[in-house]
Structure 1
Amino acid sequence: MARQLTLDLGHEPALSRDDFLVTPANALALTTLEAPENWPQGRMLLIGPDGAGKTHMAAIWSAETGAARMPASSLRPDMADRLASQHGAVVIEDAHRVGQAAGAEEALFHLWNLCAARECWLLLTARTPPRDWQIALPDLFSRMSAMPSVRIEAPDEALLSAVLVKLFADRQIAVPAGLIDWLVPRMDRDLGLARRLVARLDSEAMAQRRPLTRNLAAENLNILSKK
């Protein structure tokens, strides 16, 4: 069967508080973010695997605090003063990538110091602890290593199921009855895999002009699980 050309038009995930799925895996992290006044020195590091909900939590926190929000790889030294002075709160996402862009380590170091001096809350998100970030700047490494942190734990089946429901809904995909209950026990408890699977099913169903079925889901889960 000829494949249909598909265009990746993108989609915007729903990132409001009402769309956030609270489970035992993320409840402690969410509670911690809700009380920045209790953070030691006004700083917190949110750690969790790919797809665990860090971006969603950061979006909620940013909306509710008025925080500036940007990825670590986009940081430049001349941004630190503006970020720390104009918003009263800052979110730096994917901090584990801070060493991958020229000037980003220096910028984060300055931002750390300026936020302390100006009583600006600072939230970082990352996939791994700072020891794994390959930070070259010793002063930044020492500060990141001493930063208080909270983790999003590995998802349980309830969270994985709820995330799949949300991912399909974000793409406005009609899901056959029973498909998610069939998928959950057959896939790793990996929210990144869930995101990749839904994106692939969306693309393949369109390209093959096939409805979303258990067979299509099984085929593509098998492909992704081998990668």
Structure 2
Amino acid sequence: MTIAAQLPLDLGHRVAIGSEDFLVAPSNADAVAWLDRWPSWPAPALAVYGPAGCGKTHLGHVWRARSHAPIVSGDALDSADLPALLGRANAVVVEDADRVAGAPAREEALFHLYNLARDSGGHLLLLSRKPPARWRVKLPDLRSRIKAAPAVGVEAPDDALLAAVLVKLFADRQLRPGMDLLTYLLTRMERSLDAARRVVAALDRASLAAHRPLTVPLAREVLAELDHETGGKDDGSGNRRSPRHRVRSQQGAG
């Protein structure tokens, strides 16, 4: 019996880009519902925020596939041709949109892009780690527009979503790991969708290179190697954390 048959996974599938599927779960369902409402958004922009690896970028690609919107980083807005960026799609995905905050030229660029979208009936999808209320935007007019835009959070993936993603990623590579391997990974890997992709890819490479089956001992070696590369370590409970996770924990401890 395969893992997919053993796990009670009741998660919806969304076609994203390439051969990937987007899995709908409680952690991202609100954001998916907002994207489903497009183009009937109550404002020219929608902000989607959440921690690194929660799936924001994947959601952006899901929406891009529907809207044909280009994707631009907040860091690059001040050098972009804004009318051309909005273009025929009349829509833009701005990744790391919070990075415009505190940079006058980038704040001005986002302000003008917002106005262009509003005046043409277009839309902006703003992706960020922090909710818009915490962006510390200095330009009053931009701050008021962002405040008026709906904002929805995406949470870090829970065990059910991570398990479903692992099953899907392994299946994409025509691999069928056992339940013991899946359980091992869920209790030790970094808690993010990006980490799931890295782990599955690394396991596939290691298995092919060493002509070894997918087993817990192989996973232990692969996780140790990935841990060494990222500088992460065990947090004492068996869960792997990257330096990025430790910083967030320390900030929240106060």
TM range (shorter): 0.7 to 0.9
**1:1-227 aligned within 5 A:** 15=17, 19-76=21-78, 78-99=80-101, 103-133=105-135, 135-169=137-171, 172=173, 174-178=175-179, 179-187=181-189, 189-202=191-204, 211-221=213-223, 223=227, 224=232, 225=240, 227=242
Do the aligned residues in 1 keep the contact of 2:75 with 2:99 (CA within 8 Å)? yes
The percent identity for this pair of structures is 46
1:219/1:139 CA distance change after superposition, 3 Å: farther
For 2:175, give the aligned amino acid.
A
Flag structure 1 segments of 5+ consecutive residues without an equivalent: 1-13
1:214/1:183 CA distance change after superposition, 3 Å: same
Shift of 1:209: 6.7
RMSD: 3.3
**Residues 64-91 of structure 1, C-alpha deviations (whole Å, 9 max, x = no match):** 1232322222323552122335322222
Shift of 1:96: 2.6
For 1:148, give the aligned amino acid.
P
**Residues 72-126 of structure 1, C-alpha deviations (whole Å, 9 max, x = no match):** 2232355212233532222212213335988433221110111111111111111
How far apart, CA to CA, are the structure 1 residues paired with 2:88 and 2:212?
A: 51
For 2:21, give the aligned amino acid.
D
1:122/1:216 CA distance change after superposition, 3 Å: same
1:128/1:199 CA distance change after superposition, 3 Å: farther
Do the aligned residues in 1 keep the contact of 2:43 with 2:149 (CA within 8 Å)? no
Do the aligned residues in 2 keep the contact of 1:85 with 1:118 (CA within 8 Å)? no
- Secondary structure, counterpart of 1:41 in structure 2: coil
1:138/1:205 CA distance change after superposition, 3 Å: farther
1:202/1:98 CA distance change after superposition, 3 Å: farther
Q: Give aligned pairs, total.
A: 214
For 2:123, give the aligned amino acid.
W
- Secondary structure, counterpart of 1:76 in structure 2: helix
How far apart, CA to CA, are the structure 1 residues paired with 2:102 and 2:51?
A: 19
How far apart, CA to CA, are the structure 2 residues paired with 1:25 and 1:32?
A: 13
How far apart, CA to CA, are the structure 2 residues paired with 1:96 and 1:207?
A: 41
How far apart, CA to CA, are the structure 1 residues paired with 2:195 and 2:102?
A: 24
For 2:81, give the aligned amino acid.
M
